[in-house]
Chains A and B, each alone.
Chain A
Amino acid sequence: MSTVRIPPVLREETGGNRTVEVRGATVAEALEDLFARHPELRQRVTEDGELSPFINVYVNDRDVRYRDGLATEIGPDDTVILLPAMAGGAR
């Protein structure tokens, strides 16, 4: 099982849980399992089957867009992090 970290803005859909344990060998499979467990999440984070531009997906510390996207492979020790796009920092 891999872990998905849920940002505060999406925790209503997970009953308040910060993390959800999921099965899957890729990010796409992990997200499918997440949506199967918490169906309301699907429409919150996808648009027409694609990930919303307002959500960024990371495996551990790396953005999957610069790796293999949703096909990025994951193992049982990996954490998938969902984060809303935010303007950053001390700017």
Chain B
Amino acid sequence: MQATPDAATDLLGAVGDTPIVEMPRLAPHAGVRLYAKLEGNNPTGSVKDRVARAMIEAAVADGSLRPGQTILEPSSGNTGISLAMIGSRLGYPVRVVMPDNTTPEREQLLRLFGAEIVFSPGAEGSNGAIRLAEELAAADPDLYMPFQYGNEANPHVHETTTGPEILRDVPDLDVFVAGLGTGGTLTGVGRFMRARRPGVRIVAAEPLPGELVQGLRSLEDGYVPPVLDESVLDDRYLVSNRDAVTGVRRLLREEGLFVGLSSGAAAAVALRVAAEMESGVIVVLFADAGWKYLSSELWTRDLDELEEELEGSMLW
């Protein structure tokens, strides 16, 4: 038997085109329909497969990534794992700078895909990983840093794939909600909707950082990712770790959806938006599945205990 034309010739061909499912039990009232786009269905289990593939393909095409170079990237997990898989397919070693307080699953997955890990101080959060990666990249010409926070391929891949997939599957959407990290998803999908369905509200779910991961020495150590175009956002909500955990639990219990912490936060924001709408259609992007969070027992531990622990860790 021959493979059908739909079969990908390589795992990289299986990135994207993720399912969208309705969440009828989660919807707060009958006027609002809620849909989830399940980015955990990508090959390494997160939306970052899209970004990593786009950045590496662009870098190979324009010659900025050359044979023999090592790919270096600051990442608290998902992007690093995606790059490690892609690097292993294409023959580039991968080195990831990661805060030392993420979950053990991320370290395990990175090593399984053959990546080397450089740890940055957890108290400095993603900002600390970015700073260390920039220092390393500046000192060694054999390192190529795609740098998702500043790489236009990141929002661009969402503008050309994620956005069109959402509009194809839910043509009558009114609101799009996603977590805010690099800003790539919100910026790219936002730009696409501005052009194709201008009335769509673009809403960011932003983590309220725990006290212990706010270890900035000064405000100027703060960081606004260059790829984030704040002009495409219509609203921006803070979500506490507690509300994010409550969100992942409700998603599992009520909709059978096993998702990561940022998805719980995005769902919490979608519900806040839904509560203020009489009618309408909301699409929420769930950036990853729950597998990488199993060791933190998000679903089973006492909420107060968990909240205290999350103050000092970087889970999304």
Which A positions have Cβ atoms within 8 angstroms of B? 7-10, 44-45, 52-55, 58, 61-63, 65-66, 81, 83-91
Contacts of B151 in A (CB 8 A): none
Expressed in whole angstroms, the Cα–Cα distance for A45 and B222 within the complex equals: 12
Q: Is the CB of A54 within 8 A of B314?
A: no
Question: Which residue of B181, B217, B235, B238 contacts A89 across the interface (Cβ within 8 Å)?
Answer: B181
Q: Is the CB of B237 within 8 A of A62?
A: yes
A91 and B224 in contact, given A7-B214, A9-B214 (Cβ under 8 angstroms): no
Contacts of A61 in B (CB 8 A): 237-239, 272
Of listed A66, A90, A91, residue having the most chain B CB within 10 A: A91
Q: Is the CB of B126 within 8 A of A91?
A: yes
A8 and B222 in contact, given A62-B237, A81-B238, A90-B315 (Cβ under 8 angstroms): no
Q: Is the CB of B76 within 8 A of A90?
A: yes
Contacts of B223 in A (CB 8 A): 85-87
Q: Within B214-254, which residues are at the interface with A (CB < 8 Å)? A: 214-225, 230, 233-239
How many B residues, CB 8 Å from partner? 52
Measured between C-beta atoms, what is the minimum distance from A78 to chain B in Å?
A: 13
Measured between C-beta atoms, what is the minimum distance from B158 to chain A in Å?
A: 13
Of chain B, the residue at the smallest CB distance from A66 is B235
Check B286 for interface membership: any CB of A closer than 8 A.
Answer: no
Expressed in whole angstroms, the Cα–Cα distance for A53 and B220 within the complex equals: 9
Q: Is the CB of B262 within 8 A of A90?
A: yes
Q: 9 smallest A-B Cβ distances: which pairs?
A: A63-B236, A84-B222, A89-B181, A91-B181, A88-B181, A85-B222, A54-B222, A87-B126, A90-B316
Question: Which residue of A9, A66, A89 contacts B236 across the interface (Cβ within 8 Å)?
Answer: A66
**Which of the segments B34-42, B87-95, B107-115, B205-213 contacts the partner chain?**
B205-213
Contacts of A86 in B (CB 8 A): 125-127, 209, 214, 216, 222-223
Measured between C-beta atoms, what is the minimum distance from A77 to chain B in Å?
A: 17
Q: Is the CB of A84 within 8 A of B316?
A: no
Q: Is the CB of B125 within 8 A of A87?
A: yes
Question: Which residue of A52, A62, A85, A87 contacts B235 across the interface (Cβ within 8 Å)?
Answer: A62
Check B79 for interface membership: any CB of A closer than 8 A.
Answer: yes
